[in-house]
Amino acid sequence: MSKVTVFSQSCKGFEECGLCSFVCPKHLFKSGDEINRLGYVPSAIEEQEKCIGCQNCMIYCPDFAIVVEKEADDPQLEEEDAND
């Protein structure tokens, strides 16, 4: 099980940015409900239990707005990227 925290006040928008949603292999991100203090409607994640702890969202977020805390026994995801 992983725990995903979105710092909603730091997020620059599910629509305007949306990179977390783009890189999540389980498509867990949705639009949030409220406008944050920066003027954006942030990303949000509901089905925490489906998170596999790949940490893509945390690594790709341009605003340091997501933290993924992995449990020790989470499977490692293959890197979703161009291989070399």
Asked if 7 interacts with other proteins (CB under 8 A), we say: yes
Asked if 47 interacts with other proteins (CB under 8 A), we say: no
Asked if 41 interacts with other proteins (CB under 8 A), we say: no
Which of 2, 41, 63, 70 is the binder for other proteins (CB under 8 A)?
63
What would the two tokens of residue 48 be? 């925490």
Asked if 46 interacts with other proteins (CB under 8 A), we say: no
Asked if 29 interacts with other proteins (CB under 8 A), we say: no
Q: How far apart are CA 47 and CA 51, in angstroms?
A: 7
How many residues sit close enough to other proteins to count as binding (CB under 8 A)?
28
Q: How far apart are the first and last CA of the chain?
A: 30
Q: How far apart are CA 76 and CA 49, in angstroms?
A: 16
